[in-house]
Amino acid sequence: MKNTDPVFFVNSFADDYFGGNPAAVVILDDYPEDSRMLGLAREFGFSETAFLKKLGPGHYNIRWFTPEVEVSLCGHGTLAAAKALFATSESGRISFASLSGELAVSAKGEMLELDFPIEEPEPCPAPDELLKALGPDTPDETLCARRSRNLILVYPEHRQIAQMKPDFTRLASLEGFPWLGIAVTAPCPEGYICRYFAPWEGIPEDPVTGSAQTFLAPYWSARLGLRTLKGLQASERQGTFEAEVASGRVLIRGRALLWLRGGVDPGWRKVSG
């Protein structure tokens, strides 16, 4: 398509075309006003839209928008961006300049590998009203990842994660809540199970959250004594991944399926008036 901005729809951490976490990827010569990118992300309606600007060979600036806000780190959006670039113009390894520093994605057979910063969780209290909104079960531990502003709740059994039915209306109504999202997790064979809720960012439940593994993987690696872990995010769509803690980084591996490519009229970038 001539005179359009290239757009790709990709399912990240997906084992088939109807699973994983959908993301849109838009490739631009330059960024328009933030309000226009937020508006396009809202129009797509995915939990994340990644906007790319080329800086040099194999090097891009990346920004991520939910339908409500810009975020500083997004795993599945980065995986989707790399899949789109590998399918069109790049090979081997891609680096991204982001609000969270330099990130890299490498092709590893059928998988793509994210090289992300690590974030060590620390003990942190959780409000009673928040725990009640998540359901009747009580977590064994409450932790937080302060840099990314995430609360982490650790439960003893994987079935508690799979069966959890949060009251999202009640969660979204909580005032003065200092966190952007909640990760709930429990051990399972060879690794861990998790889910991620972020109603304050316009995402009641994220299908698969790559960025959450920057703090979940180091926690479970230390607790289980495993360097490489298998992960399952037990959302309705579900998604699988591998996470490896190495040299102060987290390597997150997963599959990505590109299922639509096209273009959007460049008029979306212009502010009306």
CB atoms under 10 Å from CB of 28, counted, come to 17
What's the distance, CA 75 to chain centroid?
A: 4
Q: Which listed residue (48, 119, 205, 242) is catalytic?
A: 48
What is the distance between the alpha carbons of residues 172 and 211, in angstroms, rounded to a whole number?
21
Active site residue 119: no
What is the distance between the alpha carbons of residues 232 and 240, in angstroms, rounded to a whole number?
5
Q: Are strands 181-188 and 150-154 parallel, antiparallel or unpaired?
A: parallel
The CA angle 129-135-140, to the nearest 5 degrees, is: 85
Matching residue, tokens 């959250």: 209
Burial of 236 (0-12, 13-18, 19+ CB in 10 A): exposed
Check: CB of residue 26 under 8 Å from CB of residue 51. yes
Where do runs of H (alpha helix) occur along the chain? 34-44, 75-88, 128-134, 158-162, 168-172, 213-224
Check: CB of residue 208 under 8 Å from CB of residue 252. no
What is the distance between the alpha carbons of residues 104 and 100, in angstroms, rounded to a whole number?
12
What is the distance between the alpha carbons of residues 131 and 126, in angstroms, rounded to a whole number?
7
Catalytic sites, residue numbers = 48
